[in-house]
Amino acid sequence: MSQPIRVLVVDDSALMRKLIPQILAGDSSIQVIGTAIDGNFGLRKIEELRPQVITLDLEMPGMGGIEMLKQIMASHPMPVIVVSSHSTEGATVTLKALALGAFDFVAKPTDVSARIQEIGSELIAKIKAAAQSHAAMPLQPNPQFAAPARSANKEKAAKPPARIISIGISTGGPHSLNYLLSRLPGDFPAAILVVQHMPEGFTEMFARRLDECCAMEVKEAQSGDLLLAGRVLICPGNRHMRVKRLPLGDVVVLSDDHRVNGHRPSADVLFRSVAELFGREAIGILMTGMGEDGARGLGLIKAAGGVTLAQGEQSCVVFGMPKAAIECGHAMHVVELDALADTLAQLCVPAKAISAGQI
Segment 125-159, tens digit of pLDDT: 999 999 998 655 456 666 565 554 454 444 456 78
Whole-model pTM: value is 0.91
Sequence-separated (6 or more) residues with CB below 8 Å from residue 246: none
How many CB atoms lie under 10 A from the CB of residue 155? 7
Instruction: List the CATH number of the domain containing 208.
Output: 3.40.50.180
So what's the pLDDT on residue 170? 97
CB-based contact 173:196 (threshold 8 Å): yes
- Same domain? 109 vs 156: no
- Same domain? 126 vs 176: no
So what's the pLDDT on residue 28? 95
So what's the pLDDT on residue 48? 96
So what's the pLDDT on residue 76? 86
- Same domain? 125 vs 147: no
Residue 359 lies in a domain: no
So what's the pLDDT on residue 218? 98
Residue 215, domain extent: 143-352
Residue 357 lies in a domain: no
- Same domain? 216 vs 340: yes
CA distances from 3 to 24, 53, 196, 288 (A): 15, 14, 32, 26
The 8-class DSSP code of residue 45 comes to H
- Same domain? 329 vs 252: yes
pLDDT averaged over every residue in the chain: 90
- 225-241 mean pLDDT: 98
Q: Helices (H), strands (E): how many in the chain?
A: 13, 14
- Same domain? 251 vs 170: yes
- Same domain? 124 vs 151: no
Q: pLDDT tens across 75-124, in order? A: 989 999 999 877 778 889 999 999 999 999 998 877 776 677 778 889 99
Residues tagged active-site: 170, 197, 293
- Same domain? 27 vs 125: yes
So what's the pLDDT on residue 158? 76
- Same domain? 41 vs 160: no
Instruction: List the CATH number of the domain containing 89.
Output: 3.40.50.2300
CB-based contact 179:337 (threshold 8 Å): yes
Q: Is 61 exposed, middle or buried (0-12, 13-18, 19+ CB in 10 A)?
A: exposed
